[in-house]
Amino acid sequence: MTVKELAGICGWRLLAGEDGQENQAEGCYIGDLLSWVMGRAQSGDVWLTVMGNLNAIAVSALADTACIVLCEDAALDQDAAKRAEMQGIPVYGTGENLYRTAIKVHDTLQ
């Protein structure tokens, strides 16, 4: 399933990275400690976090995540949005907490 399809089902709003919306979502990873995510997230994971900064975009690129979902209405800073656009990394936003968002991702990908 593409991240665009998943976002539509889950009700997420696109914040940046429109060009990457055809990325395939294959799993899910939750985490805010960037070094931990870098070493453990899998290629194709939907990464759930509250980290909307430039470093999060870099970690997403290194880990090859399908997209980033900023939960609990976490903000995406302007520099991060620009970098996400440049690198084609979709960043979505939701008001849901990490737990509820993870359940939606799991149930939708099953």
Q: Write out pLDDT tens, residues 33-72.
A: 999 999 999 999 999 999 999 999 999 999 999 999 999 9
- The CA distances from residue 11 to 64, 82, 87, 92, 103, in Å, are 23, 23, 23, 10, 13
d(CA 38, CA 2): 22
Domains, in order of start, for the chain = 3-109 (3.40.1390.20)
Q: Write out pLDDT tens, residues 93-105.
A: 999 999 999 999 9
pTM for the structure as a whole: 0.97
Token pair for 16: 């940046």
